[in-house]
Amino acid sequence: MTHNTPLSPRPLHHLADGRRRLMTAAQLRAHGVSAAEADEQCRPGGPWQQLLPNVVLLHPGPPTSDERLHAVLLYAARERSAGATGVPLQPGAEGAASPAYAEAVITGLAALTLHGFSGAPPLPSLDAIDVLVPRTRRLRSTGCARIVRTAALPAAVPVTGVPVAPVARALADAVAGLTDAGVVRRLLTEAVRAGHCEPAAVVRELTRARLLGRPHVVDAVDSLVAEGRAIAEQRLYRMVREHGLPDPVWNVDLRLPGGPHLGGLDAYWPEQAVALELDTRAHRQEDDALWSEYARKREHLERLGITVVHITPRKLRESLEHQAAVVRTALMAAGDREPAAYVVVLPR
């Protein structure tokens, strides 16, 4: 058989059997299809089309959103084996990401859409799909694939067979390309309000990406932190109500009689001398100083015989019952302690 011999339609038809919709050039060669044969099938008006360099769509007509996603991954992934059978576009067990996509993770707006963000655009409207690869990879953005280089790939979250960046990282990569302050604010707010992640995780990623120097991002972060605190406070009220804890006094300041200010608290049980504080720090540059202030206040209160329970918004979101048990234990242990110093409780 020479390169001029006509292609046999039977094996090529078998390749595009309705399951395998995409193949790389190496995978086609493993099936006996030479580069020349693939080029012939991808000619204008032919049954196949080259969607991205070395990635062939095994049918004519526009690609679906799933096909574009998987094509971007096939283009960006480090190919492990030429004997792979192609992409069936059907998720594996429990939505596990395909092991064929080594060193490639979907990020940015496409990742947010896959995570279920209502404020992210639908996949068909995206001109390009962002994909994370190690910065040592020699790839360029082309077609619907936009390469985003990173020093270290995040642990991917599998969504319907697609490796997707965690929400906080996807947000940072999306924000890097956005200039509309309203869009940035809506996406960051939805991340917290819908329970996708905590404000601290978002701020860490924005800081790592050096995006906090942009005024519209800083404004959105301030709203994000306020939103996160409001949600955490609502969960705290629900914890007390639903788990039968005695009502505390809410949002108070403590002072020694005629003495100095001891600090503000989110909740305080005066009879048991138990204080509760929400840690809603946003993990910005001033965090070390802020944490030192938290620690000093806690040490001072405990020297006065006041038990301080420290809770983060994440703990309230993920283990509300356990946090209620922690508070209940502190309240029950009050009778076994020496009486606390008298303090003045003032509304904050």
Higher pLDDT residue, 285 or 293?
293
- Nearest CA to 56 among 26, 83, 79, 78? 26
Helix (H) or strand (E) run with residue 263 in it: strand 261-269
Is pLDDT above 80 for 97? Answer: no
DSSP string, 195-231: TS--HHHHHHHHHHTT-TTSHHHHHHHHHHHHHHHHH
Q: What average pLDDT does this structure show over 114-132? A: 96
Q: Please, which pLDDT band fits residue 313 given cuts at 50, 70 and 90?
A: confident
129 Cβ contact list (under 8 Å, min separation 6): 68, 69, 72, 106, 108, 110, 123, 144, 145, 146
What is the average pLDDT value for the chain, to the nearest integer?
86
Where b means 16+ CB within 10 Å and e means fewer, 117-150 reads bebbeebeebebbbbbbeeeeebeeebbbbbbeb
Question: Which pTM value belongs to this model?
Answer: 0.76
CA end-to-end span of the chain: 87
- The pLDDT assigned to 99 comes to 60
Is pLDDT above 50 for 174? Answer: yes
268 φψ region: left (φ > 0), alpha (ψ -120 to 50), beta (else): beta
> Domains in the chain, start-ordered, CATH in brackets?
244-347 (3.40.960)
Q: What average pLDDT does this structure show over 206-226? A: 90
Q: What average pLDDT does this structure show over 96-106? A: 78
252 Cβ contact list (under 8 Å, min separation 6): 264, 265, 268, 345, 346, 347, 348
- Nearest CA to 120 among 128, 112, 130? 112
- Candidate from 159-163, 181-185, 290-294, 306-310 with smallest mean pLDDT: 290-294
135 Cβ contact list (under 8 Å, min separation 6): 149, 150, 151
Higher pLDDT residue, 147 or 94?
147
Q: Are 210 and 240 in contact (CB under 8 A)?
A: no
30-86 tens-digit pLDDT: 989 999 999 999 999 999 999 999 999 999 989 999 999 999 999 999 876 444 555
242-278 tens-digit pLDDT: 999 999 999 999 999 987 888 899 999 999 999 999 8
